[in-house]
Amino acid sequence: MFRTLLFTFFVFLLCQNSIAQSRVTYVELLQSQRQSQIYFEHSFHPSSDSLTELSVNFRIEHDFLTFTKNRDNTYQTEIKGSLEIYDKDGMVIRTSFWSAEKRVDSYEKTQVRDEFIIGRIHTELVKGSYFYQLKFQGGSQRREISSEKVPFSINLQSAIWFYMLEETEIGSESVTLINYGGNAVYGKNITLAISLSDSMYQFSKNNLSLELEQLDIVEKDTTFVKSIFKKSISDSLFNVKKSIQMTNNDIPTIKLGESYSGFTTFFTTIANKTYPNAHYRLKLFKKDSLIATKVYQSYWYDIPLSLLNLDVSISMLKFILPAEKIKQTFSGNEQKKLTSFSTFWKEKDPTPESDFNELMYEFYKRIDFTFKEYTTPGKSGFETDMGKIYIVYGPPTSKERALPSSGFVVESWHYNMRSFSFQAKSGFGDFELIR
């Protein structure tokens, strides 16, 4: 049901298991990092006995968009999109349109990758084989960008559709699709819904099981790593004559509704937060016969930049470890260094039952923050006095600025048990710790 595709000139973040190991600096890593992205996926929803709704759901990162400044110091952007449907011969048979505007209150919010414009474009189609293509154009951009053409087929009689939902109490009235290009979000559990047409349900009734496998995917090569679980689907989980329906014209949220076209749906929870940042394959069986699959990635969309390179990750430990300790602990070949690095952070993991390490994430996110906030013409932000204090102690509970008789601004940061004062050396944001 879902398909993960990128616009041709976008790339995904590297997952933690494939950290690039060339010896680079943080700045060089920053210059080579991924481009901004538009994530998209499609889902199907039965409309009637003969029609199926195709919903193409997407999210667009803020720093992909072009914002303009308003007189009230807010920033605004607009974007237009279209969904073109092609028949099997490549002829456009239908076009649907979408547009949105968004206003933010600061320039910083125009550059972040964890805020989005979220939307969907939908249309209804009869049984057949098709392609769809998404196209977007920003309000101030003349150049149009397009996705690849995505093939899909509709056949209500033999339909088995997967829906990956944000974790929720099963049976909730309205649930949001994860909407990250068909992927899960690393560190968060998944509510999985699977809808089967009546004919497929009757064919498979009382004999269904679900298996989850971990995969290693390098370019076009897929390798099985291990089976995570395999479990039978109990009859009590089935919602007979119920199908997944969209509840909002703009935001991809769904509900479980009466199915007049003959569908049955079941829900289950996948403990994704306990699994590594990797690729996975869901397999639905009738007895021992495989009847449907879905491949997805546990996707760390906001992975701190340093974690994309092992040498950079280790070098940043200088803010919390002596140089000699780093040299002793993380020596050896790449595999030994990776093992030592994983062990170091695992021992400090506040939630060892989960694969996601909140403490490690917070440490490396602070490094990213200091680079953005405190970099001067002569120093990277994490090398400045302000940056080093921020990395170790985090954001201060309060700040204050004063202009002493010397004429150089003094900024004080206050924490619960201590305070730090920094004095400006020039007018370029370079503050020096004075007490």
Helix (H) or strand (E) holding 27: helix 26-32
Per the structure, the complete domain to which residue 121 belongs is given by 36-154
Instruction: For 3-54, write each residue's pLDDT tens digit.
Output: 333 332 222 333 333 344 447 888 888 877 656 678 999 999 998 888 999 9
Tokens read off for 143: 């150049």
Distance between CA 135 and CA 86 in Å, rounded?
Answer: 14
Are both 140 and 197 inside the same structural domain? Answer: no
The answer as to whether 77 is a domain residue is yes
Is 130 within 8 Å of 86 (Cβ atoms)?
Answer: yes
Distance between CA 76 and CA 105 in Å, rounded?
Answer: 9
Are both 285 and 176 inside the same structural domain? Answer: yes
pLDDT at 30: 83
The answer as to whether 14 is a domain residue is no
Are both 82 and 163 inside the same structural domain? Answer: no
- Would you place residue 321 in the very low, low, confident or very high pLDDT band (cuts 50, 70, 90)? very high
Are both 299 and 380 inside the same structural domain? Answer: no
Tokens read off for 261: 């076209």
Distances (CA, A) of 257 to 154, 260, 262, 405: 20, 9, 11, 71
Instruction: For 81-102, write each residue's pLDDT tens digit.
Output: 999 999 999 999 999 999 999 9
Question: For residue 92, which of 132, 123, 129, 58 has the smallest C-alpha distance?
Answer: 132
The answer as to whether 222 is a domain residue is yes
Are both 318 and 390 inside the same structural domain? Answer: yes
Domain end (from 277, 303, 329): 303
Is 361 within 8 Å of 301 (Cβ atoms)?
Answer: no
Tokens read off for 94: 């239908």
Are both 144 and 282 inside the same structural domain? Answer: no
Q: What is the pTM of this model?
A: 0.82
Are both 361 and 377 inside the same structural domain? Answer: yes
Is 63 within 8 Å of 46 (Cβ atoms)?
Answer: no
The answer as to whether 163 is a domain residue is yes
Mean pLDDT of 192-197: 93
Task: Residue 50: give its domain's CATH number.
Answer: 2.60.40.10
Distances (CA, A) of 409 to 386, 394, 400, 428: 14, 22, 10, 12
pLDDT at 11: 29
Domain end (from 265, 287, 303): 303
pLDDT at 161: 96
Instruction: For 262-290, write each residue's pLDDT tens digit.
Output: 899 999 999 999 999 999 999 999 988 99
Instruction: For 156-185, write each residue's pLDDT tens digit.
Output: 999 999 999 998 766 566 788 999 999 999
Exposure on the CB side of residue 307, measured as CA atoms within 13 A: 23
The answer as to whether 371 is a domain residue is yes
Mean pLDDT of 313-319: 95
Query: What is the count of structural domains for the chain?
Result: 3
pLDDT at 387: 95
Are both 113 and 148 inside the same structural domain? Answer: yes
Are both 109 and 46 inside the same structural domain? Answer: yes
Are both 70 and 138 inside the same structural domain? Answer: yes
The answer as to whether 8 is a domain residue is no
pLDDT at 115: 84
Question: For residue 365, which of 288, 307, 304 has the smallest C-alpha distance?
Answer: 304
The answer as to whether 162 is a domain residue is yes
Domain end (from 303, 325, 347): 303
Distance between CA 17 and CA 286 in Å, rounded?
Answer: 33
Are both 165 and 297 inside the same structural domain? Answer: yes
Are both 272 and 317 inside the same structural domain? Answer: no
Mean pLDDT rounded to a whole number for the chain: 86
